[in-house]
């Protein structure tokens, strides 16, 4: 059953807090902005490509991509859990994590919410100076702190994409 989509909270982390709270707070804000940008989209608009040179760049495709990026960095690269379910680790089809035709946006958002919760549990259970465990991925040499900063950058970048897509779809704008 899908989680009802209501207005997504968008709160900045406290001005004074420990490093982990700050990092997760900013990442959670960007995650919330991504979800907010999809609120009220029709099924057709969620899957509509508005950038002619980027046919996979849809609101639904970006939400799916973000879910799998979270999985890749925190579960596969950091913890060395299996990558078999993650389309990012398959050679074909290219950008398979964005191929979501026919998958309801609510399902993609629920999957993303669950994955973010798993990621936050992983972050809570490990030191920021811990490094990744996957011996097959060069980036596993990075610390959890580095991975959090990378996910913040990745998510914020795609929040910007969603902002542009949403404006093209129905004129809705706004950042915060």
Contact at 8 Å (CB) between 71 and 115?
yes
The average pLDDT across 79-93 equals 95
Sequence ranges of the domains in the chain: 19-170
Q: Provide the pLDDT for residue 3.
A: 41
Q: Provide the pLDDT for residue 176.
A: 65
Burial status of residue 164 (CB atoms within 10 A of its CB: 0-12, 13-18, 19 or more): middle
Over residues 10-29, the pLDDT tens digits come to 889 999 999 999 999 999 99
Find the helix packing angle between 59-70 and 105-124, rounded to 10°. 20
Write down the pTM of the prediction.
Answer: 0.94
Over residues 115-155, the pLDDT tens digits come to 999 999 999 999 999 999 999 999 999 999 999 999 999 99
pLDDT of 156 higher than 90? yes
Return the residue matching tokens 């970048």.
157
The percent of residues in the chain predicted with pLDDT above 70, rounded, is 95
State how far the Cα of 55 lies from the Cα of 24, in Å rounded to an integer. Answer: 31
pLDDT of 70 higher than 50? yes
Contact at 8 Å (CB) between 66 and 160?
no
Return the residue matching tokens 């990378």.
150
Evaluated on CA atoms 49, 63, 152, 147, the torsion sign reads: negative
**CATH numeric code, 19-170:** 1.20.120.450
């Amino acid at each position: 059953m899908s989680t009802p989509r209501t207005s997504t909270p968008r709160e900045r982390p406290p001005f004074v807090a420990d490093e982990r709270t700050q990092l997760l707070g900013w990442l959670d804000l960007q995650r919330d902005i991504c979800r907010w940008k999809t609120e009220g989209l029709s099924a057709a608009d969620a899957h509509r490509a508005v950038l002619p040179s980027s046919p996979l760049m849809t609101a639904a495709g970006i939400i799916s991509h973000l879910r799998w990026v979270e999985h890749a960095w925190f579960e596969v690269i950091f913890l060395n859990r299996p990558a078999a379910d993650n389309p990012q680790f398959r050679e074909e089809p290219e950008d398979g994590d964005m191929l979501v035709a026919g998958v309801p946006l609510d399902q993609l958002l629920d999957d993303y919410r669950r994955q973010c919760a798993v990621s936050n549990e992983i972050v809570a259970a490990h030191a920021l100076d811990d490094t990744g465990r996957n011996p097959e991925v060069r980036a596993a040499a990075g610390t959890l702190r580095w991975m959090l900063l990378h996910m913040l950058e990745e998510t914020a970048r795609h929040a910007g994409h969603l902002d542009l897509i949403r404006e093209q779809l129905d004129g809705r704008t706004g950042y915060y």
